[in-house]
Every structure is written in C-alpha cells, then in structure tokens.
C-alpha cells in the first residue's frame, strides 16, 4: 500500500536532486584533494583529507538513502 508524502516530505523530495548533485560535487572535490600528490608525504594533511573524504562520502550516502526512502513512499 502506497502512502502520500507529507507536506514536509514533498518539499524535501523537491529539493533532493539538487542536494544530491551538490553532495556529488563536494565528493569529487574531496576525492581530488585526497589524491593530491603534493600531500602524499605529509601524513597529517593526507589523514585530514581522507577524513574529509569519508565525511563527505557518508553525507552523500545518507542523502541517497533518504532519497530512496522518499521514492519508496511515493510508489
């Protein structure tokens, strides 16, 4: 049995694609920063950039999961 989205969920759904695209852009930037050869020998900088990459990846994954959850409710 399908449910309709609540008003707030519909608003969230309407903006979800833009949020995901922004998260993907941040993810690509974080990935590039982590792969920067100029920090390859700087363990502290490398660790900080890998931590940032992990955080951005987690946020992108969370958005995709929420998007799927809202999509399932719409079906």
Spatial separation of the C-alpha atoms in residues 42 and 26, rounded to whole Å:
22
Instruction: Convert the pLDDT of each residue in 18-42 to its tens digit.
Output: 999 999 999 999 999 999 999 989 9
Residues in the chain: 75
Greater model confidence, 75 or 43: 43
Q: What is the 3-state secondary structure (H, E, C) of 53-67?
A: HHHHHHHHHHHHHHH
pTM: 0.85
Which fold is adopted by the domain 7-74?
Helix Hairpins (1.10.287)
Residue 74: per-residue pLDDT: 87
């Amino acid at each position: 049995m399908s449910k309709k989205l609540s008003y707030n969920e519909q608003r969230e759904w309407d903006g979800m694609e833009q949020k995901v695209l922004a998260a993907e852009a941040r993810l690509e930037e974080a990935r590039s920063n982590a792969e920067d050869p100029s920090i390859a020998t700087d363990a502290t900088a490398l660790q900080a950039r890998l931590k940032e990459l992990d955080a951005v990846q987690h946020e992108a994954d969370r958005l995709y999961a929420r998007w799927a959850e809202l999509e399932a409710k719409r079906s």
